[in-house]
Copies of this chain bind each other. A is one copy, B any other.
Amino acid sequence: MSLVTDRGKPQSADKPTLYKQIRIDIERRILTGEWPPGHRIPFEHELMSSYGCSRMTVSKALSELTQADLIERRRKAGSFVRRPTFLSAVLKIADIRAEIGALGRSYGYELIQCSRRAANAADRARLGARKTGKVIAIACRHSADDVPFAIEDRLIDLDAVPEAATADFATEPPGTWLLHHVPWTEAEHSISAIVADEQAAAALDIAIGAPCLVIDRHTWRSARPLTAVRLLYPGESHKLVARFKGG
């Protein structure tokens, strides 16, 4: 049973119109950390001239980014990148290094295991890939201020992302590398709760049987699976917070 029904496989990306292109360009810079929280994004009239369009078009892009809580617009002052306070923004970032950085904590990374192999049945099922091929399996740990923050268990489809073969995941977290090198068109997150087994407990420095928040993230490019990742956060000490306005 699931809280929500599934929508089936993700559809392919639609042709980007101008305002969408502006939105995507800005979003990319924010999500990769190129424009960190607090950064002032160009004024509307600057975007107007650089994209050669009217103010309404720029404004539409900025409005959507505001609704997604990625930016904050202040009259007279301009528009600024928000720190990831909201659930949707936190989920969208998907780069734990940037997430920890945005929280003002020091980031630590440790590769636990990394292997390349031909995809077995379980790998294919997890990726949702039909054909068999090569995959990279990665296990690693992220820490904030030297305290374990999350453990990551990831599978990358090497046929869809051949460049991953040359990446050095010993020094760069796979999420960060992917975000900077591989464009994606669809992503799906699923949040659930489990209890820590022996291995997870040891890696996160918590008790066996302690609750953990799980985020499973799948990413596609034009309906082709790129990567599947499971993130385990120590459950009681972590919260995902979302705020709404309404009536």
**CB within 8 Å of B: which residues of A?**
1-7, 10, 13, 16, 24, 27-28, 31, 64, 67-68, 83-88, 90-92, 99, 103, 144, 147, 183-195, 209-214, 233, 235-247
Determine the chain B residues whose CB is within 8 A of the CB of A209 once the complex forms: 195, 209
CB contact between A193 and one of B1, B4, B10, B235 (< 8 Å): that residue? B235
User: Majority SS of interface residues in chain A?
Assistant: mixed
Across the interface, name the chain B residue whose C-beta is closest to A189. Answer: B242
Given contacts A4-B87, A7-B243, A87-B87, 14 further A-B contacts (CB under 8 A): A3-B238, A4-B90, A4-B239, A4-B241, A13-B247, A31-B246, A67-B68, A189-B243, A191-B239, A192-B236, A193-B211, A193-B212, A194-B235, A194-B236
CB contact between A195 and one of B211, B241, B245 (< 8 Å): that residue? B211
A/B interface sample: 7 pairs, CB < 8 A: A3-B240, A87-B87, A87-B91, A88-B88, A184-B246, A187-B246, A192-B240
A243 pairs with B64, CB closer than 8 A: no
A244 pairs with B192, CB closer than 8 A: no
Q: A67-B67, A87-B87, A209-B209 are in contact. Are A186 and B235 (CB under 8 A)?
A: no
CB contact between A240 and one of B27, B147, B191 (< 8 Å): that residue? B191
A192 pairs with B7, CB closer than 8 A: no
Number of this chain's copies in the assembly equals 2
A4 pairs with B184, CB closer than 8 A: no
Determine the chain B residues whose CB is within 8 A of the CB of A193 once the complex forms: 193-194, 211-214, 235-236
C-alpha spacing A236/B194, complex, angstroms = 6
CB contact between A88 and one of B6, B64, B190, B242 (< 8 Å): that residue? B242
CB A170 to nearest CB in B, in angstroms, measures 26
* A-B complex: 3 closest residue pairs judged by Cβ atoms: A193-B235, A193-B193, A193-B211
